Amino acid sequence: MTASFDVAVVGAGIVGLGAALAAVDRGLSVVVIDRASEPSGASVRNFGHLCFTPQDGLAREFALASREIWLRLAADADVWLRESGTVVLARHPDELAVLTEFARSRGSAPAFAHGAGPARPEVELLGAAQVGALVPVAARSAGGAFLPWDLQVNPRQACTALAAYLAGRGVAFRLRTAVTGVRSGSVTTTRGPVSAGTVIVAVNHDIDQLYPEVAERAGIRRCGLDMLRVDAGLRAPLPAPLLTGWSLLRYGAFASLPTAAALGDRLRGEFPELAALDLNQMYTQLPDGSLIVGDTHYRGASVSPFQNEHAFDALLRLTGELFGVPRPRVLERWQGVYASGMSDFLIERPEPGVHLVAATTGIGMTTGLGLSERVVGGVYGSAISVPPTTALSTPVKGFS
């Protein structure tokens, strides 16, 4: 027997769950299908850093839309969230030059819909003493910046809480269920067919398993990351995600600045072994006090599961030097994998009623909810008013 829904979402990562949220907000019947039994992909293997301010172009549009949705989910879906902002540490004058140019470029704040943005500048430059007062770093500082609009979630809790919230609002979940084919109006699965007026395929790098020709045309590859969770024994808590000069080469709004070119030349010249790791040295602190440390980047049609200890040694050494602590005690290490493409996003409609959606760089948690809202809104129009639903959360088997 074929089950019927208005919307079928393939993939239960943050983009897929965001699509389910956008659909149920419009009063539609929704099913989410995922081959896993619990969140285990890119949506849980990240920093939980919602870095809205460093985005540009379309990523900035999706990021600002996502910010409103994350704040709403903190209130309605019991998503753990800190309105933390971000601290960017500058250890060299050229890093401070990038931040100074960035602050000038963001001199006037954009208009947040519904007044959701803080009433303060988007970028606040800091002196060395101010940075030292904010974050417990021992490394010499030339100053830095504070980005007050950024947020932080716990990536291990966010998708679980959102899935439970959606189930409480009537979204059906079919977990441990593989999708073997998608056509206009229907999805073929290992547990039987599903009929749907709209199908949203949000499977990140696995898009090449269902639509290989689209993946090849968009240059989709897998990007592997080396990451750690450590007990660093910091002298004080880390009040916000912490970025470094390496981060200024990774995010679009920083990297596009003229001053970033000179910074990149210096870092690659002074630290070729770190540049070879394609490093983003950054940190977030989880509610239990442990630090997420990372990360490196390597790409291919597939990524080897065998991680080189050299990368972890570098991350631990840098962490000890930055915070002035002995080698941190490793609690966990893991490999992240996400889609990497020729642009920041994959948004395609291969046939009527079928939409392929992915963040094809490492900003899915930051932009995914806004991306999904845009795609679903393009099909069904503006969302209906959302009723208060804080009492509706019920466990989803495999997500509780």
pLDDT of residue 140: 87
User: Given 3.30.479.30, 2.40.340.10, 3.30.590.10, 3.50.50.60, which CATH number is that of 1-82+151-219+341-400?
Assistant: 3.50.50.60
> Where do the DSSP E strands lie in 77-140?
81-82, 86-90, 124-126
- Summarised one tens digit per residue, pLDDT across range 12-37 is 999 999 999 999 999 999 999 999 99
Of the chain, the percentage scoring pLDDT greater than 90 comes to: 88
CA–CA dist 159, 161 (Å, integer): 5
Q: What angle do CA 43, 172, 389 make, to 5 degrees?
A: 80
Pairing of strands 151-153, 81-82: antiparallel
- Summarised one tens digit per residue, pLDDT across range 172-222 is 999 999 999 999 999 999 999 999 999 999 999 999 999 999 999 999 999
C-alpha distance across the termini of the chain, in Å = 28
> In the structure encoding, which two tokens stand for residue 91, read together?
């250890």
CA–CA dist 153, 82 (Å, integer): 6
DSSP state letters, 253-280: HHHTSHHHHHHHHHHHHH-HHHHHTT--
Helix or strand holding residue 163 (H, E):
helix 155-168
> In the structure encoding, which two tokens stand for residue 277, read together?
């790791």
Question: Which residues, listed in sequence order, are joined to residue 229 by a DSSP beta bridge?
Answer: 292, 332
pLDDT of residue 293: 97
Mean pLDDT of 243-261: 96
Q: Write the DSSP symbol of residue 86.
A: E
> In the structure encoding, which two tokens stand for residue 228, read together?
């750690």
pLDDT band at residue 395 under the 50/70/90 scheme: very low
Q: How many helices (H) and strands (E) does the chain have?
A: 12, 20
- Summarised one tens digit per residue, pLDDT across range 339-359 is 999 999 999 999 999 999 999
CA–CA dist 318, 277 (Å, integer): 13
Tell me: pLDDT of 385 over 70.
Answer: no
Question: Which residues, listed in sequence order, are joined to residue 374 by a DSSP beta bridge?
Answer: none
Cis peptide before 313 (omega within 30 of 0): no
Q: pTM of the prediction? A: 0.92
| Burial class of residue 336 in the structure, from the number of CB atoms within 10 Å of its CB (0-12 exposed, 13-18 middle, 19+ buried) | buried
Helix or strand holding residue 197 (H, E):
strand 192-201
Contacts of 289 (CB under 8 A, 6+ apart): 231, 237
pLDDT of residue 119: 64
Mean pLDDT of 123-143: 93
* CATH 3.50.50.60 domain span(s) along the chain: 1-82+151-219+341-400
* CATH 3.30.9.10 domain span(s) along the chain: 86-149+221-340
Tell me: pLDDT of 115 over 80.
Answer: no
- Scanning the structure block, which residue is given the tokens 């990524």? 303
Q: Taken in order 325, 326, 331, 334, is the CA torsion positive or negative?
A: positive
CA–CA dist 317, 303 (Å, integer): 25
Q: What CATH class does 86-149+221-340 carry? A: alpha beta
- Scanning the structure block, which residue is given the tokens 């500058």? 90
Neighbours of 343 (CB within 10 A): 13
Neighbours of 300 (CB within 10 A): 11
pLDDT of residue 391: 31
Neighbours of 206 (CB within 10 A): 21
CA–CA dist 313, 334 (Å, integer): 14
